[in-house]
Amino acid sequence: MTRRHFFLLALIPLLMLTAWHFLNPGAQLKSAQARLLRAISQKDAAACGKLIHPDYTDQWNFTAGDWPGILKDLRTLSPILEVTMVNPAIDSGNGVVDTSLRVQSNGGHASGMIAEKAMELQEMTRFLWKREAWRPWSWQLVSVQNPALDIPSDYRPGNLTAMPAF
């Protein structure tokens, strides 16, 4: 056997591991969740738009069209924001990610309030995802749920100046 043969034999496990990652719905769902939280942290509307399903709805009556306004308001409230998962429970069969969130917020007039509210949340946040059946990497967010997260009912994304509660 030549060096080329040994190289090719060594490359096979790496290719198998890579294929497993891209074909494993659980790994892809966890990756989609991490990309969403990174996009929220960076307030990147384009990246969020790729991950939000057009039929998105949640307990606060927000829709997919509200996400750019939410990110704009987050940029105003906290220019430096980092949202990460803590102990996520992933059910790729049902497209559910239950996780606690760690929120670090700095640089804005509401940064302390945002971090404090996040620390007060005792319940895990549930992210509901949907994917096309044949593409394991095509996850899109359809809903977020956390009954303990209280958002004022008169808040409308993108209209933060009308909300003295924040």
From first to last of its 166 residues, the chain has per-residue pLDDT tens of 787 766 766 767 766 665 555 568 889 999 999 999 999 999 999 999 999 999 999 999 999 999 999 999 888 888 888 999 999 999 988 999 999 998 888 877 777 788 788 778 888 999 999 987 677 778 999 999 999 888 888 888 887 754 444 4
**3-class DSSP state for residue 44?**
coil
How far is Cα 150 from Cα 11, in angstroms, rounded to an integer?
51
Please report the pLDDT score of residue 124 as a whole number: 92
Nearest CA to 42 out of 72, 11, 85, 1 is that of 72
**3-class DSSP state for residue 87?**
strand
Please report the pLDDT score of residue 119 as a whole number: 79
Per the CB < 8 A criterion, the answer to whether 157 and 62 are in contact is yes
Please report the pLDDT score of residue 166 as a whole number: 43
Residue 141: left (phi > 0), alpha (psi -120 to 50), or beta?
beta
Q: What are the residue ranges of helices labelled H in the chain?
A: 3-23, 25-42, 45-51, 67-77, 111-120
Which fold does the domain 25-162 belong to in CATH? Nuclear Transport Factor 2; Chain: A, (3.10.450)
Please report the pLDDT score of residue 94 as a whole number: 93
**53: Cα separation from own chain's centroid:** 12
How far is Cα 46 from Cα 56, in angstroms, rounded to an integer?
16
Per the CB < 8 A criterion, the answer to whether 142 and 128 are in contact is yes
pTM > 0.85: yes or no: no
